[in-house]
Amino acid sequence: MTLFRNSIFLLLALLLAVPAQAGHHDEGPAKPAIVLAAFGTSYPEAVKSILNIKTKVEAANPGVPVRLAFTSNIIRHIWQKRQDDAAWKTAHADIPEEVLYVKHPLATIADLQNDGYRDVTVQSLHVFAGEEFNDLLALIGGLKAIRTLKAKNMPFARLAVGRPALGMPGTEYPYTEDMARAAKILKDDVDQAKKLGAALVYMGHGNDFFSTGIYAEFQKVLQAEYGYPIFIGCVEGYPAFDDMEAQLKGAGKKKVLLKPFMIVAGDHASNDMAGNEDDSWKTMLTKRGYTVTTDLRGLGMLDGWADIYVDHLKDAMAATPGAQ
């Protein structure tokens, strides 16, 4: 009897001494994943700008899955219609499935969580902290607010968001430093304008009801950096076309190099900026006596601009849980 009792005690001691190797209590470090959240584009050619950024992010994070997501409902619906259009898919066979079947960030994050990735960093591919970015923050904030009865059942171990190219409010990463870096990356644009003897004009997207003053501030940064006539206007919000043109008139140049200040050169760049309609910026400037040269290249095609997102993602991935 004594021998049996001692054997039981020894077995219990061994069980208590060995840490749990399986089960829900110790699953090891949460698997990381990355979501690149862009406004998106419906233009097949413009997709290259987003894919260029994705390629840079993948190279900087080997072994970590990187998924695309589009925040624009309208653009996602266009791609959804194309999914069942056999003729369109045949004509655009170079479009990758990750774009053709692109989802909302919420669905993309849910898919990753379902596949076992519980450490998810969402990198914004927006230019500035406007409407789309703030909606993205709200989405992630909602997911981070989930509380389960048992900690082991929490859907995520960590969720973080990387700031846009021109930064965001806060003290940890001053947005003025982000703007200064972004300005230096646009040197080739300035050199191109100088060769043409033209003022450099950018068309940004903006939005109607969220402050777009960042564009006016960034214009000031560009002018201070290069000492050259550089102006920014927006499709929506301030500075509007007339605000921009009033400043352009004061520069005294009759030639203009017109470029999109957007990640992709899609619908706005092709039509609102460089189109032949009466209300396009090119047409309106031409009617006011300017000689206009357009350059349809999205910011995402610039490796230096893509590197901004790579580094902002790095900062977000290094942030402690709950810090963002």
The burial class, CB within 10 Å (0-12 / 13-18 / 19+), for 98 is middle
pLDDT tens column, 71-119:
999 999 999 999 999 999 999 999 999 999 999 999 999 999 999 999 9
Residue 279: what residue type? D
Helices 175-185, 213-226: crossing angle, 10 deg rounding: 50
Assess contact for 181 and 220: CB atoms under 8 A: no
What are the start-end ranges of the H helices in 115-186? 131-144, 175-185
Residue 196: CB atoms within 10 A of its CB come to 15
- 172 assigned to a ligand binding site: no
* 31-173+303-318 and 177-299, same CATH topology: yes
pTM for this model (two decimals): 0.89
Query: Strand order in 291-294's β-sheet?
Result: 230-236, 199-206, 255-260, 291-294
Q: Which of 24, 92, 126, 205 is catalytic?
A: 205
Q: How long a stretch of residues is the chain?
A: 324
CATH node for 177-299: 3.40.50.1400
Residue 240 main-chain phi, psi, to 5 deg = -80, 180
Nearest-angstrom CA–CA distance, 319 and 324: 7
CATH architecture of 31-173+303-318: 3-Layer(aba) Sandwich (3.40)
Residue 301: what residue type? M
Assess contact for 37 and 105: CB atoms under 8 A: yes
Whether 221 shows a pLDDT value over 50: the answer reads: yes
Which band of pLDDT confidence, cut at 50, 70 and 90, is reported for residue 134? Answer: very high
What percent of the chain is modeled with pLDDT above 70?
90
pLDDT, average across residues 63-76: 97
pLDDT for residue 27: 64
Both tokens of 24, joined, read 């829900």
Annotated catalytic residue 205? yes
Question: Would you list the domain boundaries of the chain?
Answer: 31-173+303-318, 177-299
Strand partners, 34: 66, 121
**Cβ contacts of residue 177 below 8 Å, gap of 6+?**
167
- 268 assigned to a ligand binding site: yes
pLDDT tens column, 197-208:
999 999 999 988
Exposure class string for 139-175: b at 16+ Cβ within 10 A, else e: bbeebbeeeeeeeeeeebbbbbbbbbbbbbeeeeeeb
Greatest mean pLDDT among 150-154, 207-211, 309-313 lies in: 309-313
Whether 158 shows a pLDDT value over 60: the answer reads: yes
Whether 225 shows a pLDDT value over 80: the answer reads: yes
Nearest-angstrom CA–CA distance, 147 and 136: 20
Q: DSSP 3-state assignment of 291? A: strand
pLDDT, average across residues 260-271: 93
Helix-strand-coil split of the chain, %, nearest 5: 50, 15, 35
